[in-house]
Chains A and B, each alone.
Chain A
Amino acid sequence: MSTFGGAASRPDFETAVLGELGLLYRVARRLAMNSTDAEDLVGQTLFSAARSWEGFDGRHTRSWLVTILKNQHLKSIRRKASRPKTVSIDDGGELSQGSLDAEIDRRAFVDDILRELDELPEDFRIAVALCDVEQMSYEDVAAALDIPIGTVRSRLFRGRRLLRERLKAWPSDYTAVDGADGKGKE
């Protein structure tokens, strides 16, 4: 529950959204499927959010921004039914030499699990990205996607199941997510 407690204490637009930029980029990346389009999507989201900022009540900024991001994504899909895919490499910024190896190992894993996540249908992909990667509450995700909480849960659980099935193909010492039947039934 992040409210600004009245107009006097309300931060300016850029201050309010700057802290959410990482989340917006990661979610945009799950929707747009490449980093260039993800940056464009976030840029459009910020533009649209800035225009609505005056009328926004300041409650649940994160859900509000994700809603705008989702709507911009839908608009952009409608605008360009098909578009040549470009692949770009995300450079992670500056790294100290000492942490480079560990960072490469970590990145390799994160990139792998995100690549599998990106193979899921969009509804399930976004539910997992918002709930499990961004750790948003079911309530906030329901508000952001404008769907009932029960639908969030069912998409999330189904998405996890699909992701588990994809990860089962991995070596067990790498993933540590195999070994179960995948159903959790009696």
Chain B
Amino acid sequence: MEGPLNKVADGTARGLGLWYTLSHVAHCPQCRRFLESLKAMIGKLHRAREVEPSEESVQRMLNAYRMSAPPGG
């Protein structure tokens, strides 16, 4: 069940596969706990996307590229 539960957790499960997995989860406490904890972990990983490079860091990255770019290019 690990593969189907992963697909339900990240929202890529579709159609019959989704229906079957949810039906199973409805009466299987072990898979339900696994699914809930997997969703929680993925939700926390999503939050890591909020980390943006600082303005200085953006400037350093752009400068690195601009300084190495050929003149006139």
Contact = CB atoms under 8 A, between A and B. Distances in A.
B48 A114 contact: yes
Given A90-B54, A180-B33, 8 more contacts: A39-B53, A90-B57, A131-B10, A132-B10, A175-B40, A181-B34, A183-B34, A186-B31
B41 A180 contact: no
Contacts, number: 143
Interface of B: 1-3, 5-6, 10, 12, 28, 30-31, 33-38, 40-42, 44-58, 60-65, 68-69, 73
B13 to A, nearest CB: 12
- Interface size class, chain A: 35 or more
27 contacts: A25-B52, A25-B61, A35-B57, A43-B63, A46-B62, A47-B65, A90-B51, A90-B54, A92-B51, A92-B52, A93-B54, A114-B51, A117-B45, A128-B45, A132-B10, A132-B46, A133-B48, A135-B49, A164-B37, A175-B40, A177-B37, A177-B38, A179-B33, A183-B34, A184-B5, A184-B38, A186-B28
Tell which of A91, A117, A157, A184 has the most Cβ of chain B within 10 Å: A184
A interface, by DSSP: helix, strand, loop or mixed?
helix
A180 B35 CA distance: 8
A185 B47 contact: no
Contacts of B1: 184-186
